[in-house]
Chain A
Amino acid sequence: MLERVHIGGPMPLLPRRALANRYHFEALDAGRLETRWCRGCERFSFPPQNRCRHCGGRDVLWREMPAEGVLFAQTTMHAVADGFRAHAPLHIGVIDLSCEVRLLAWLLETPIALDTPVRLCALHFDDGTLIGAKELT
């Protein structure tokens, strides 16, 4: 389970909970990082979709991804769009998971040196969840 971190209030920008990805967002709300995994080539596709991004196969299952990775890049944004002001400055990291997936997360601690192992967590808003990360200790 991902550690739950309460943020509260509305998400700055709501993702669309569509047929192909709704389960991912529901799982994230519940503290699990789920995406599509291909039975053909045994690789993860993230963001989740019904067609494997590696081999094009359609035989894909929901599967939990590891919640640990390393920090590849980061920025602190002082100039932000409307909706994000309440959370500025934004600390954003690019995180590489060991399962060949790269994703974004809000960094809960800064600075974190690049290549440092990080653990993902679930940032809970009133209407959804974003992925967060903190240094793995």
Chain B
Amino acid sequence: MKPCVLGAAALPVGSYMPGEGATGAVYEHERLLDVLDMALAEAGVAVADVGAVIATQNVPTTRQLGFLSFFASRAGIRADANLLEVSALGTTGATAFDLAVNEVALGHANVALAIGAHFESQAPLAEAMASGIRAVGDVDFQSVYGLSPISWYALDASRYLHDAGASRRELAAVAVKSRQFAACNPHAQMRAAITIEDVLQAPPIVEPLGLLDVPARSDGAICVVVGRGDMAAADAVSVLGRGYGHDGHHQMGAIPHDMTDLVAARAAVSRALDAAGVAQADVGVWELYAPCSITEVLAVEAVGLLPRHQAAFATAEGRTGPDGDVPVNPSGGCLGRGHPSNLTGLYQVFEAWQQLRGRAGARQQSTAHAVTLAEGGNYNTALAHVFGRAG
């Protein structure tokens, strides 16, 4: 039997990080303890059952480093299989989940946690950008030009609009529909409705993207409990397959190629569906990692939900929104639910689990299968998982 998601819990994505020198504040380990207990209760397992914990590595602005060992001690966890902090650019959260599933699948643990806290909303922006430009570029040949993480997506956007004959107006529709989904998601950060005009008139950040095309700063805390399939209820959510892709480039790469064609995303999803034995048409929930409006458009096309150079127009027609025929990112995605970057992959799993348990409220999709897809760099790496209801 395939490993199952036995339970999960998360803080609504938001702003939790206390300012420097705050008193009476609640720090990330206290938030995560609350989330851990909610998740374990949901899963029907005890702290003593936990054999492995795979945590997302904390951002550099976290005061408590060595976080997982510290946290396990506070939580009373004694792992007999593994205690590991992982870091893999934007796939960090999905990788934590992937390795937790492995711990169960390999028989190392009956119960493994994929867990993380991400607090950076109050960190000085310059500090975050200084480390950001070093992470997403060749430090000697790319970072020296000043490109930040989101500016790579802006470069993609300029090329995509040129090739597709689309405009900022169509991209803006991604932000608008993300808020529509988010309004139905109690775990979402940006739940207020916005209009196309709001997006178009927002200050430019990395042209052609404006303030509402790019993610806000987000904090979060989340715990996903993975367990043996035979420990799960008959209608539990199984992890049916996973797939990985890597295009071999670092950001834009060093040789001319079409960097708006996300081949790693396509490979990861295709391999995951093959491993799961699930047809793409049988998937009704798609949680695609997309920090910016353009990124969702490119991911939707890469995985084959809409034809090349059509997704922006289709989004503007409402096809990927709440009433559309190809709903994408029902959680609200990075622009609606929010983007605590190291945890985004785990929040995607949380959405898949809620959807397949029938707990997604007004954004509920009627389907037996969900796909999550996370990425690193400029979608240079991609990690996908396929979920289904057991039984």
Contact = CB atoms under 8 A, between A and B. Distances in A.
A21 B146 contact: no
28 contacts: A12-B144, A13-B144, A13-B146, A14-B144, A15-B139, A15-B141, A47-B141, A73-B156, A73-B252, A75-B154, A75-B155, A75-B208, A78-B204, A78-B207, A79-B125, A79-B148, A79-B205, A80-B129, A82-B130, A92-B151, A94-B259, A101-B256, A102-B253, A102-B257, A104-B147, A104-B252, A105-B145, A130-B144
B159 interface: yes
A120 to B, nearest CB: 13
Interface in A73-88: 73-82, 84, 87
A74 B207 CA distance: 8
B148 A81 contact: yes
B144 A11 contact: yes
A14 B139 CA distance: 9
A79 B217 CA distance: 14
Interface in A3-51: 11-16, 18, 21, 45-47
A45 B254 CA distance: 8
A65 interface: no
Size bin of chain A's contact surface: 35 or more
A18 B148 CA distance: 24
A110 B155 CA distance: 14
Interface of B: 125-126, 129-130, 132-133, 138-148, 151, 154-159, 162, 203-208, 252-257, 259
Contact of A78 (B159, B206, B256, B257): B206
A10 B339 CA distance: 34
A74 B254 contact: no
A81 B126 CA distance: 6
B204 A76 contact: yes
Contacts, number: 116
Interface of B is mostly: mixed
Interface of A: 11-16, 18, 21, 45-47, 53, 72-82, 84, 87, 90, 92, 94, 96, 100-106, 114-115, 130
Contacts of B148: 77, 79-81
B145 A130 contact: yes
B120 to A, nearest CB: 15
A104 B259 CA distance: 14
B259 A13 contact: no
- Shortest 6 CB-CB contacts between residues of A and residues of B: A75-B154, A15-B140, A81-B129, A96-B256, A76-B207, A73-B155
B146 A102 contact: no
Contact of A79 (B139, B142, B206, B253): B206
A73 B158 contact: yes
Contact of A104 (B142, B157, B206, B257): B142
A104 B147 CA distance: 10
A114 B130 contact: no
B154 to A, nearest CB: 4
Given A21-B140, A72-B256, A76-B206, A94 B155 contact: yes
Which has the most chain A C-beta neighbours within 10 Å: B129, B158, B253? Answer: B158
A132 B62 CA distance: 38
